[in-house]
């Protein structure tokens, strides 16, 4: 790992000056160049690398270069249109690179807005001084007017939690464990206001893009009187390049004192940071699934520790890793056991579907409950975490089922425009027309198999006509701003029945929602992934929390064929602590996280045998080193196995799980054997990647 040189060590030496640079390329680096003077650490530079010109970051001005002086090229251009990246920020990036086993350049450069790392932005025909100069020339920052809202009076539990956070004068990680509707957001806002009054700045992370508009409005109303007009900057992946560059510059220049964003915002170049908040800390959206496979939650805790400031992790269903840290007193748990408003938690009822006659997947109990709520003028949410019209199309005559030609999975039946249907693969994106007859036997009577949100929406529109039914899922919210528009219609009372996937489960405060119906929850019960019950409990607890937040007589009906499962029994009692105790006992007995630490080596190839062969060779390399250096059972290397969906887009996939009870030993192994993987003969025919602390196995 490259060592970042403190700025204080820069000094003028005889010309030429040696400049150490990191680049976003799949080579470890760093790389040495020369310049006529020292270049501050954190500065962007344009350099020649092979036949290409690249933008890199200066990390040191060494006394001597690391290789032959004759081979060292000059820097092409020093870019001075932004302030150098701070040493605090570079130290943070270096930790991320070190822990997640990636070259430093592959961490630092992708964290910058695209225009700041794009050569064409400086050397193109319309470069005009670079992207920052162009932005500043045309930028007229529009003030976002927001109605200032009065902060509500906190209850005793909220006040106690707030006092604990604001009293922390150094690093401390708080787990804010509050039931849905308990007012965790109010604790965040009060704490943020306190930090801002001290002249410090605040970083708030949320898991999903569609949560930022609602959260942003609350932040502006409550914090701009302290942070100043336009004192809130928003960072997430749906921003255009220009919007992201503008927000990023406002953060780096200190114009924005509050940063709100999704996981990428953990890399915001924010100085004078006084508080980090991670809302819904358990959410898997905080884990990046490609490139640098980081956990924004875990990096938030490290960044808070490094800066010696408090960190708040909030959730009604904390991850078991965070729960374990609280149990071991590494984190301080702050409990909010009551809803902020004087309303009770919703009643959770299980409907055993095994002997019931169902109407398009709906039980008589759920249908009657929906009628009662609608007649009472209340809204209903039907939760089904399966988009599309039906999971597959099948032939009753011969058993043919629609399958993707490029993946080992079924194609999903979708309702398209003008009532037409198409078959979509949710893995590779393949879209096909629905065949007019069975490809195997020619029978024209093919039927949808199962139900997705489109099919449920269609049936409910007929069953409860003229009730207004709206569907919110990834298909209905593809256009920018469409999700917020749909949620606004729900809040405005223009919707009677809302059908949605997990998009509707998180963070939304529906004032008139009285009933939540949950369909097909059992699909996650028997997953091969040991984390599936934890995800299911969190998902159901979250969506249940949408009911009765203002009325206090909310009801949740969960249809299941397995009502005795511990997940459901804990949900009836709103008993996360009981579920956590049960699950932790199981994990401890099996030595699964949080009682062990994992890394996953994945390989992809045209032929599955090639991927398996590479993983077997990698495993043997790791076994040899482990036995030589440890000689005990601290590291377990499992046999390579194909993924459950083996082939995606004609690429076969396999994985090797590496597990250890001692994190430093696991990290030591990864650091040793990673450089050897590219030298294996089998590596030439595969694409491989390593993920530390994987969430899905």
Query: Which of the listed residues 316, 336, 356 is the one where a domain comes to its end?
Result: 336
State yes or no: pLDDT of 6 exceeds 80. no
CATH of the domain at 73: 3.40.1440.60
Residue range 150-164: mean pLDDT, rounded: 92
Closest among 598, 599, 600, 616 to 608, alpha carbons compared: 616
CATH of the domain at 665: 3.30.70.600
- Cα 587 to Cα 324: distance, rounded to the nearest angstrom: 11
- The three-point CA angle 134-136-138 to 5° equals 70
pLDDT band at 551 (very low <50, low <70, confident <90, very high): confident
Q: Which residues contact 240 (CB under 8 A, 6 or more apart)?
A: none
**Percentage with pLDDT > 70 across the chain:** 95
Q: For residue range 624-654, what is the model confidence (pLDDT) as tens digits?
A: 888 888 876 789 999 999 999 999 999 999 9
CA 113 to chain centre: 19
CB 36 within 8 A of CB 16: yes
State yes or no: pLDDT of 11 exceeds 50. no
- pLDDT score of 325: 97
81 versus 70: the higher-pLDDT residue is 81
pLDDT band at 145 (very low <50, low <70, confident <90, very high): low
- Cα 179 to Cα 364: distance, rounded to the nearest angstrom: 30
Token duo for residue 94: 């270096």
Has residue 359 been placed in a domain? yes
- pLDDT score of 212: 67
Q: Answer yes or no: is 441 a known binding residue.
A: yes
The sheet that has 44-49: what strands, in order across it?
A: 31-35, 17-22, 52-60, 44-49, 77-79
Tell me, letter by letter, the H, E, C secondary structure of 250-291.
Answer: HHHCCCCCEEEECHHHHHCCCCCEEEEEEECCCCHHHECCCC
Q: Are residues 491 and 531 both part of a single domain? A: yes
Query: Which of the listed residues 138, 172, 205 is the one where a domain comes to its end?
Result: 138
Residue range 130-147: mean pLDDT, rounded: 75
Q: Are residues 122 and 226 both part of a single domain? A: no
Report helix, strand or coil for 50.
coil
Say which DSSP state 393 is in.
Answer: E
- pLDDT score of 13: 44
pTM of the model: 0.92
- pLDDT score of 686: 96
CATH of the domain at 581: 3.40.50.300
* DSSP element (H, E) containing 365: helix 364-375
pLDDT band at 9 (very low <50, low <70, confident <90, very high): very low
Q: For residue range 501-522, what is the model confidence (pLDDT) as tens digits?
A: 988 887 778 889 999 999 999 9
Has residue 380 been placed in a domain? yes
Q: Answer yes or no: is 652 a known binding residue.
A: no
Has residue 422 been placed in a domain? no
Has residue 624 been placed in a domain? yes
CB 92 within 8 A of CB 276: no
State yes or no: pLDDT of 492 exceeds 70. yes
Share the mean pLDDT of the chain.
Answer: 91
Q: Are residues 185 and 321 both part of a single domain? A: yes
What's the domain count of the chain? 4
For 158, 165, 377, 436, 506, the CA distances from 188, given in Å and listed in that order, are 10, 9, 33, 56, 17
Q: Which residues contact 164 (CB under 8 A, 6 or more apart)?
A: 174, 332, 334
Residue range 57-85: mean pLDDT, rounded: 92
Closest among 132, 188, 180 to 158, alpha carbons compared: 188
Q: For residue range 46-58, what is the model confidence (pLDDT) as tens digits?
A: 999 999 999 999 9
Adjacent-strand bridge partners of 421: 415
- Cα 465 to Cα 459: distance, rounded to the nearest angstrom: 10
Has residue 97 been placed in a domain? yes
The residue ranges of DSSP E strands in 426-518, in sequence order, are 431-433, 446-449, 469-472, 497-500, 513-518
Has residue 436 been placed in a domain? no
- Cα 462 to Cα 459: distance, rounded to the nearest angstrom: 5
B/e letters for 538-566, b = 16+ CB within 10 Å, e = fewer, are bbbbbbbbbbbbebeebbbbbbbeeeebe
**Percentage with pLDDT > 90 across the chain:** 75
Q: Are residues 35 and 129 both part of a single domain? A: yes
Residue range 208-232: mean pLDDT, rounded: 83
The residue ranges of DSSP E strands in 590-677, in sequence order, are 597-605, 635-637, 641-648, 651-660
Q: Answer yes or no: is 407 a known binding residue.
A: yes
Tell me, letter by letter, the H, E, C secondary structure of 75-117.
Answer: CCEEECCCCCCCHHHHHHHHHHHHHCCCCCHHHHHHHCCHHHH
Q: Are residues 293 and 219 both part of a single domain? A: yes
State yes or no: pLDDT of 416 exceeds 70. yes
- pLDDT score of 429: 92
Residue tagged 């009532």 (tokens): 419
- The three-point CA angle 54-60-62 to 5° equals 115
CB 659 within 8 A of CB 600: no
Q: Are residues 105 and 38 both part of a single domain? A: yes
User: How many CB atoms lie under 10 A from the CB of residue 355?
Assistant: 6
- pLDDT score of 143: 57
257 versus 128: the higher-pLDDT residue is 257
State yes or no: pLDDT of 195 exceeds 70. yes
pLDDT band at 119 (very low <50, low <70, confident <90, very high): very high
pLDDT band at 141 (very low <50, low <70, confident <90, very high): low
Q: Are residues 501 and 367 both part of a single domain? A: yes
Q: Are residues 621 and 667 both part of a single domain? A: yes
Closest among 483, 487, 486, 494 to 510, alpha carbons compared: 487
CB 425 within 8 A of CB 407: yes
Q: Are residues 320 and 174 both part of a single domain? A: yes
Dihedral over Cα of 266, 282, 315, 323: its sign: negative
Closest among 7, 182, 77 to 549, alpha carbons compared: 182
Report helix, strand or coil for 9.
helix
Closest among 524, 554, 553 to 539, alpha carbons compared: 524
Q: How many angstroms separate the most distant Cα atoms in the chain? A: 87
- Cα 432 to Cα 421: distance, rounded to the nearest angstrom: 9
Reported as half-sphere exposure (CB side, CA atoms, 13 A), residue 60 has a value of: 16
Q: Are residues 358 and 469 both part of a single domain? A: yes
Adjacent-strand bridge partners of 556: 348, 516
Report helix, strand or coil for 362.
strand
State yes or no: pLDDT of 14 exceeds 80. no
Query: Which of the listed residues 564, 587, 610 is the one where a domain comes to its end?
Result: 587
Residue range 483-499: mean pLDDT, rounded: 92
- Cα 436 to Cα 431: distance, rounded to the nearest angstrom: 16
Domain that holds residue 515: 347-387+452-587
Token duo for residue 279: 């809302």
Residue range 481-491: mean pLDDT, rounded: 88
Has residue 92 been placed in a domain? yes
pLDDT band at 146 (very low <50, low <70, confident <90, very high): low
The size of the chain, in residues, is 697
**Worst-scoring range by mean pLDDT, 20-34, 155-169, 414-428, 598-612?**
414-428
CB 398 within 8 A of CB 438: yes
pLDDT band at 171 (very low <50, low <70, confident <90, very high): very high
Has residue 536 been placed in a domain? yes
State yes or no: pLDDT of 10 exceeds 50. no
Q: Are residues 256 and 362 both part of a single domain? A: no
- Cα 453 to Cα 498: distance, rounded to the nearest angstrom: 10
Q: Are residues 353 and 284 both part of a single domain? A: no
Residue range 276-286: mean pLDDT, rounded: 96
CB 448 within 8 A of CB 390: yes
Q: For residue range 430-462, what is the model confidence (pLDDT) as tens digits?
A: 999 999 999 999 999 899 999 999 999 999 999
């Amino acid at each position: 790992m490259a060592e970042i040189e403190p700025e204080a060590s820069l000094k003028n030496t005889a010309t030429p000056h040696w400049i150490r640079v990191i680049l976003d390329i799949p080579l470890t680096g760093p790389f040495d160049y020369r310049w006529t003077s020292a270049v501050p650490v954190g500065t962007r530079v344009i350099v020649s690398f092979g036949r290409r010109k690249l933008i890199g970051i200066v990390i040191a001005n060494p006394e001597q270069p690391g290789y032959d002086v004759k081979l060292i090229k000059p820097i092409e251009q020093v870019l001075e249109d932004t302030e150098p990246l701070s040493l605090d920020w570079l130290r943070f990036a270096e930790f991320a690179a070190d822990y997640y086993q990636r070259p430093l350049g592959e961490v630092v450069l992708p964290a910058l807005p695209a225009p700041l790392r794009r050569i064409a932005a400086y050397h193109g025909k319309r470069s005009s001084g670079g992207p920052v100069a162009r932005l500043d020339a045309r930028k007229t920052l529009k003030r976002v007017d927001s109605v200032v809202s009065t902060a509500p009076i906190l209850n005793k539990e909220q006040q106690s939690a707030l006092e604990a956070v604001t009293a922390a004068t150094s690093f401390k990680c708080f787990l804010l464990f509050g039931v849905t509707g308990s007012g965790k957001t109010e604790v965040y806002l009060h704490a943020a206001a306190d930090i801002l009054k001290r002249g410090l700045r605040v970083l708030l992370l949320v898991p999903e893009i569609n949560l930022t508009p609602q959260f942003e409005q609350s932040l502006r109303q409550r914090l701009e009187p302290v942070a100043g007009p336009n004192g809130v900057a928003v960072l997430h992946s749906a921003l255009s390049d220009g919007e992201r560059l503008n927000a990023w510059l406002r953060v780096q220049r200190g114009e924005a004192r509050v940063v709100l964003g999704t996981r990428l915002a953990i890399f915001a170049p924010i100085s004078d940071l006084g508080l980090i908040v991670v809302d819904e800390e358990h959410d898997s959206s905080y884990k990046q699934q490609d490139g640098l496979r980081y956990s924004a939650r875990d990096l938030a805790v490290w960044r808070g520790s490094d800066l010696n400031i408090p960190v708040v992790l909030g959730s009604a269903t904390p991850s078991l890793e965070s729960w374990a840290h609280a149990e071991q007193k590494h984190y301080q748990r702050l409990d909010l056991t009551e809803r902020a408003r004087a309303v009770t938690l919703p009643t959770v009822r299980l409907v055993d579907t095994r002997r019931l006659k169902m109407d398009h997947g709906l039980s008589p109990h759920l249908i009657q409950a929906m009628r009662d709520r609608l007649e009472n003028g209340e809204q209903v949410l039907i939760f089904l975490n399966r988009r599309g019209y039906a999971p597959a199309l099948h032939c009753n005559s011969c058993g043919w089922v629609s399958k993707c030609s490029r993946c080992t999975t079924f194609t999903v039946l979708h309702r398209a425009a003008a009532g037409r249907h198409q078959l979509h693969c949710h893995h590779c994106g393949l879209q096909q027309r629905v065949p007019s007859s069975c490809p195997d036997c020619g029978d024209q009577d093919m039927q949808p198999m199962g139900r997705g949100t489109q099919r449920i929406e269609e049936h409910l529109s007929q069953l409860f006509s003229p009730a207004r039914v709206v569907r919110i899922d990834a298909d209905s919210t593809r256009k920018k701003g469409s999700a917020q528009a749909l949620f606004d219609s729900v809040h405005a009372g223009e919707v009677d029945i809302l059908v949605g996937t997990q998009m509707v489960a998180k963070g939304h405060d529906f004032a008139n929602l009285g009933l939540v119906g949950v369909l097909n929850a059992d699909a996650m019960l028997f997953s091969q992934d040991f984390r599936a019950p934890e995800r299911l409990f969190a998902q159901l607890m979250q969506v249940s929390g949408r009911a009765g937040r203002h009325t206090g007589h909310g009801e949740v009906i969960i249809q299941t064929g397995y009502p005795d499962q511990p997940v459901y029994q804990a949900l009836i009692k709103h008993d996360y602590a009981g579920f956590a105790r049960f699950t932790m006992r199981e994990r401890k007995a099996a030595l699964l996280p949080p009682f062990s630490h994992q890394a996953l080596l994945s390989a992809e190839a045209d032929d599955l045998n090639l991927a398996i062969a590479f993983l077997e060779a990698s495993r043997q390399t790791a076994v040899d080193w482990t036995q030589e250096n440890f000689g005990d059972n601290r590291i377990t290397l499992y046999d390579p196995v194909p993924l459950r969906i083996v082939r995606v887009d004609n690429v076969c996939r396999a994985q090797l799980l590496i597990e250890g009870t001692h994190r430093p030993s696991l990290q030591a192994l990864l650091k040793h054997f990673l450089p050897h993987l590219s030298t294996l003969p089998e590596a030439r025919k595969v694409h491989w990647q390593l993920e530390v602390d994987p969430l899905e196995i």
